Chains A and B, each alone.
Chain A
Amino acid sequence: MTDVTLYHWEPNANSGKPMLALMEKGVPFASHYIDMLQFDQHKPEYLAINPQGTIPAMTHRGAWGSRVLTESTAIMEYVNAAFAGPDLMPADAQDRWRVRWWMKFMDQWLGPSFSMIGWSVFVGPRVRERDPEELAAAIERIPLPERRRAWKKAINGDFSAEEMAESRRRVALGVAKLEEELGKRDYVGSDAYSLADINIFNSTYSLPLSQPDLASKDKTPNIMRWLKRVYEREAVRKTWAMGKTDMAARYSLVMEGII
């Protein structure tokens, strides 16, 4: 029996962060797959754990009873601090600041733009075909009003040309800045593998496939070198093996492209 249970979707974006952090630390955990495309995250069983209805969430049982943790980046920091295993934060104070800066840049500036694009080209189309009444009921169950709006837009294909253009601008600029950063240091924010790499890898691992115009051997050699290094980590392979959709198949495709 394990003390840790992780509620997650695919090893991707926010769900992938605590999955990979736990795997790197060697912390055994019970995996509870939440199928985002079936709206599992808005069902009463899950809302009892995270009333916000977003994934991931983690529970940790111990002498204190059972704790619920949310927010993928903050969960990673907790995992790093609460468990033995390799330290996933650098020791130097300025490096630590940089690691946190990059994670915020991803979580609050670049990531939402990736999400908007992902939801409009991937999530929306996959969900759209379902029975309209069923979908309307599913949207009704979403607790956060801003998410209800985002889901409606994704399902109806209602993201405006303006907001999509802004998201594309941010993705292109963010990728260019990441390329610059990885030209200065071996990893994101420091010379050692850290939570910032886990964070950013989970949103950029498929760029060479999905956005070859932005990330490729010629255009972004530093990103490609870094992706390859991270891909080769055992924890990444193990985490990717937990995927259930064809997203996980991208792993081998990207690897082929990189090597």
Chain B
Amino acid sequence: MGAVLYHGEPNGASLTVLAALAESGLDIPCRPIALLAGARHSLPGIAEPIALDLGIEGEGPVLVAGGEAMTESVFLAQYLDELAGGCGLQPDDAYAHWEMLMWCRQITERLSPAAALLGNLASSQAAIAAIPADDFAALTAAIVSDDLRARWQALHDGTIDAAQVADSEAKVDQTAQRCEDKLADGRDFLMGDFSIADLVTYSWLAGMEPIRPAAFAERPRTRAWLARVAVRPCILAAMAMASTPEPLKTWAPGPEINRWG
């Protein structure tokens, strides 16, 4: 049975994986799905659903391979790179690889939940709130993860408090500063060579430019880096798969905000 990649518009987690797939040159068919219609929770042909049911990333892409649902964009990018026999998205050196993993973890643990929250508030909350009650009940009933369902519900009910928004804005600012610092030595890409770190950071940060312009105003190196990544062939290929003129403005419920410390 051939693999299929189910994905949303090229933004956030879906953008990372679509771009990694383009970079890998692998021939895996892609099927766009309507994340805000809950399509991710009724995918066909899945015998091993745990990574879909209890994924941490929220409404990210799902690669179905051999009946197994595979999720988490950074790991899918690693998988595609490795399946292609190494397409250059991961450093070979153990220490450089550790640095890349650490960077990606900072992004997925801190930036992604923050960006998803701000992005959803800006662009999808109204649509989620407008889903008729019966449809919304059916949609959320199909979501296996209680905590992901709670994130949909909070957007639907508009119960996101100001402190969470402020915390998320601070995290976007911190990420932009972290990029600015990393790029200070004149390097073109975050780890030196182009890598998954650029894909995942771009995927969650690029859509923050219109929402949180203050994070970028005084950070010219980060803006220049965003512009450099935007024209990488793999990003252009992923963007070409959009079905809307502004894919960086499409969001769906994302990862949860760290509840421990």
Q: Do A and B come from one complex?
A: yes
Task: Name A residues whose Cβ lies closer than 8 Å to a Cβ of B.
Answer: 64, 67, 69-71, 74-75, 77-78, 81-82, 93-94, 96-98, 100-101, 104-105, 108-109, 112-113, 115-116, 144, 146-147, 149-150, 163, 166, 169, 173, 177, 180-181, 184
Q: Do the beta carbons of B105 and A74 come within 8 Å of each other?
A: yes
- Which residues on the B side are within 8 Å of A96 (C-beta)? 78-79, 82
Interface of B: prevailing SS: helix
The A-B contact count (CB < 8 A) is 82
Measured in the bound complex, the distance between the Cα atoms of B109 and A90 in whole Å is 25
Q: Do the beta carbons of A97 and B259 come within 8 Å of each other?
A: no
**CB-defined A-B contacts under 8 Å, sample of 21:** A67-B95, A74-B102, A77-B101, A78-B98, A94-B65, A96-B78, A96-B79, A97-B70, A97-B75, A97-B78, A101-B51, A101-B72, A108-B56, A146-B258, A147-B261, A150-B261, A173-B54, A177-B50, A180-B50, A181-B50, A184-B48
Interface of A: prevailing SS: helix
- Contact A93-B82, Cβ < 8 Å, known A78-B94, A147-B261, A177-B54: yes
- Which residues on the A side are within 8 Å of B97 (C-beta)? 77-78, 81
Asked whether any CB of chain A lies closer than 8 Å to the CB of B83, the reply is yes
Q: Do the beta carbons of A69 and B98 come within 8 Å of each other?
A: yes
- Which residues on the B side are within 8 Å of A100 (C-beta)? 72, 75, 78
Asked whether any CB of chain A lies closer than 8 Å to the CB of B146, the reply is yes
Asked whether any CB of chain A lies closer than 8 Å to the CB of B66, the reply is yes
Residue of B nearest to A115 (CB): B260
Asked whether any CB of chain A lies closer than 8 Å to the CB of B71, the reply is yes
How far apart are B66's CB and chain A's nearest CB, in angstroms?
A: 7
Measured in the bound complex, the distance between the Cα atoms of B102 and A77 in whole Å is 11
Residue of B nearest to A116 (CB): B260
Asked whether any CB of chain A lies closer than 8 Å to the CB of B188, the reply is no
How far apart are B226's CB and chain A's nearest CB, in angstroms?
A: 26
- Contact A82-B94, Cβ < 8 Å, known A74-B105, A104-B56, A163-B259: yes
Binary interface encoding of chain B residues 46-62 relative to chain A, with 1 for a CB under 8 A from any of its CBs, else 0 = 00101100101000000
Residue of A nearest to B150 (CB): A166
- Which residues on the A side are within 8 Å of B78 (C-beta)? 96-97, 100
Most B-side CB within 10 Å, residue of A70, A104, A112: A104
The 10 closest A-B pairs by CB, nearest first: A112-B260, A81-B94, A150-B261, A146-B261, A82-B94, A78-B98, A97-B79, A93-B82, A93-B83, A100-B75
- Contact A144-B261, Cβ < 8 Å, known A94-B65, A94-B68, A109-B54: yes
